[in-house]
Amino acid sequence: MKFVETLVIGAGPGGYVAAIRATQMGQNVTIVERNYLGGVCSNVGCIPSKVLISVGHRLEQVKHSDDLGVVAQEVKLDWTKVQEFKNGVVSKLVDGVEGLLKGNKVDIVNGEAYFIDANTVRVTEGDNVQTYTFKNAILATGSRPIEIPIFKFSERVINSTGALSLPEVPVKLVVIGGGYIGTELGSAYSNLGSQVTIIEGGKDILAGFEKQMTQVVKKNLKKKGVEVVVGASAKGVEENENGVVVTYEVGGEEKTVEANYVLVTVGRRPNTDEMGLEAVGIEFAERGLLKVDKQCRTSVQNIHAIGDIVYGPQLAHKASYEGKVAAEAIAGEKSIVDYLAIPAVCFTDPELATVGYNEEQAKAKGIEVKAAKFPFAANGRALALNAPEGFVKLVAHKEDGLLIGAQIVGAGASDMIAEMALAIEAGMNAEDIALTIHAHPTLGEITMEAAEVMIGKPIHVVKASKMLH
């Protein structure tokens, strides 16, 4: 039996960050991982999916750059090289995580953890079983794709993990679920040459984003030839040698669509089962999530939980943030979680990014707000990139202009949102942004221009009243 001061279970973006911060706080740390360092994000999630999205963009740009004077005679996609490049990126990052853990003197243990009591776990790897006792623990076990009973995962019925390593680019692909994962991967494969159909049960795709934003993405999907079916119920799938036939119902009518693969992206389930947590007395919330306080502490005082297994958006950067808070709390610091400004990004065409409140959310909270927009089409850099679609929208308190939210749709939105996250965290108002000198010509200027609209002093639009409300 080995004693560990702080035991971290799960080496994803929450776990490995928690482990490193814990060592920085002077703790002796062991991290346990059953699959791969870096977790879902680095291996079969955020990173490899962005590689495919990036490759798809490159291919799309080369194919459709005639207006810019770039005329491609023949464009070929080498799928083997794409996969090699993707795997290389993943390998570098995973090696980097391992190096960081070892460099911070974190003991890495491979295996699956099972709780014996509130201070003891059994770690199993094959025939090797080791027992660890600990003073404190941080659970960072992440989540896995939800499997629908009538869509059992197979060679042709795939989840997001399978979609990243297909043997070829499918001629036809059906996506069940129009959330951010389904829409991102659907867009990526459309750019790579697939004929894509997205089937969504709700009223619209990308439900977590404002309709004004998703309209821009939907227009682009239509231009690509992606068929989006909303208000539809997936009924079943038949597999054959060459692919699948998916049956769905929409508007009371049953329809079918053929494809090489069907990608099921209807959400993710927290990995809190089969760990012995019930026996320890840890309290569960709904859907398998764990109850935690503002220091990520569960109902068992020496065990913390972070990331996808606790309430909130299932985002890698949220998990990393919570990991730091949990490690600092264990060290006796007064750190607590503050979710005022968690950016959320969707890497569609164009990109979507949001932070803080949107107008509807603010009004639902009884907050009187004003909002201001500025279009990408009025920005020189956006025009030079041939990316005029989209806008920046700022949301602020009506009385004093204190910024409480921002929504961006357009090229580079994923990078631009950081400025607004900082502004909200720092308690800035619209005038602070307007008075900050932004380099020209850049996409960042659009944020400044939106702030100038909000304070009633726009330079590059005339009818500002239409953009301020």
Question: Helix/strand/coil (H, E, C) string of the chain?
Answer: CEEEEEEEECCCCCHHHHHHHHHHCCCCEEEEECCCCCHHHHHHCHHHHHHHHHHHHHHHHHHCCHHHCCCCCCCCCCHHHHHHHHHHHHHHHHHHHHHHHHHCCCEEEECEEEEEECCEEEEEECCEEEEEEEEEEEECCCEEECCCCCCCCCCCEECHHHHCCCCCCCCEEEEECCCHHHHHHHHHHHHHCCEEEEECCCCCCCCCCCHHHHHHHHHHHHHHCCEEECCEEEEEEEECCCCEEEEEEECCEEEEEEECEEEECCCEEECCCCCCHHHHCCCECHHHCECCCCCCECCCCCEEECHHHECCCCCHHHHHHHHHHHHHHHCCCCCCCCCCCCCEEECCCCCEEEEECCHHHHHHCCCCEEEEEEEHHHCHHHHHCCCCCCEEEEEEECCCCEEEEEEEECCCHHHHHHHHHHHHHCCCEHHHHHCCCCCCCCCCHHHHHHHHHHCCCCCCCCCHHHCEC
Structure tokens at 198: 């997205």
Q: How far apart are CA 215 and CA 125, in angstroms?
A: 49
Count the Cβ atoms, other than its own, within 10 Å of residue 85.
15
Domains along the chain with CATH numbers: 2-145+269-330 (3.50.50.60), 157-266 (3.50.50.60), 350-466 (3.30.390.30)
pLDDT the model gives residue 462 = 86
Structure tokens at 129: 């079983």
State how far the alpha carbon of 266 is from the alpha carbons of 131, 146, 177, in Å: 37, 6, 5
* Residue 357 marked as a ligand binder: no
* Residue 401 marked as a ligand binder: no
Q: How far apart are CA 356 and CA 352, in angstroms?
A: 14
> Nearest CA to 390 among 369, 368, 367, 413?
413
Q: Partners of 232 in the beta sheet?
A: 250
Treating both helix axes as pointing N-terminal to C-terminal, what angle do 316-330 and 15-24 enclose, rounded to 10 degrees? 30
User: What's the predicted TM-score (pTM) here?
Assistant: 0.95
The answer to whether 279 touches 119, Cβ cutoff 8 Å, is no
pLDDT the model gives residue 464 = 61
pLDDT the model gives residue 4 = 97
Count the Cβ atoms, other than its own, within 10 Å of residue 158.
23
* Residue 160 marked as a ligand binder: no
Rounded to 5°, angle at Cα 73 from 67 and 76: 110
* Residue 150 marked as a ligand binder: no
Q: How far apart are CA 135 and CA 35, in angstroms?
A: 24
Q: Partners of 303 in the beta sheet?
A: 137
Structure tokens at 201: 């049960």
Q: Partners of 107 in the beta sheet?
A: 30
State how far the alpha carbon of 337 is from the alpha carbons of 315, 325, 328, 418, in Å: 15, 7, 11, 18
Choice among 57, 64, 397, 440 that is catalytic? 440
* Ramachandran region, residue 39 (left: φ > 0; alpha: ψ -120 to 50; beta: rest): left
* Catalytic annotation present for 440: yes
pLDDT the model gives residue 465 = 63
pLDDT the model gives residue 79 = 97
pLDDT along the chain (469 residues), means of 10: 96 98 98 96 96 96 90 91 97 97 98 97 95 98 96 96 96 97 97 98 95 97 97 96 94 96 97 93 95 98 98 97 98 95 97 97 96 97 97 96 97 98 97 98 98 95 72
Question: Length of the chain in residues, anyone?
Answer: 469
* Residue 179 marked as a ligand binder: yes
* Residue 50 marked as a ligand binder: yes
pLDDT the model gives residue 143 = 97
Sign of the alpha-carbon dihedral angle for 307, 312, 317, 321: negative
Residue that has been written with the tokens 């799309």 in this structure = 60
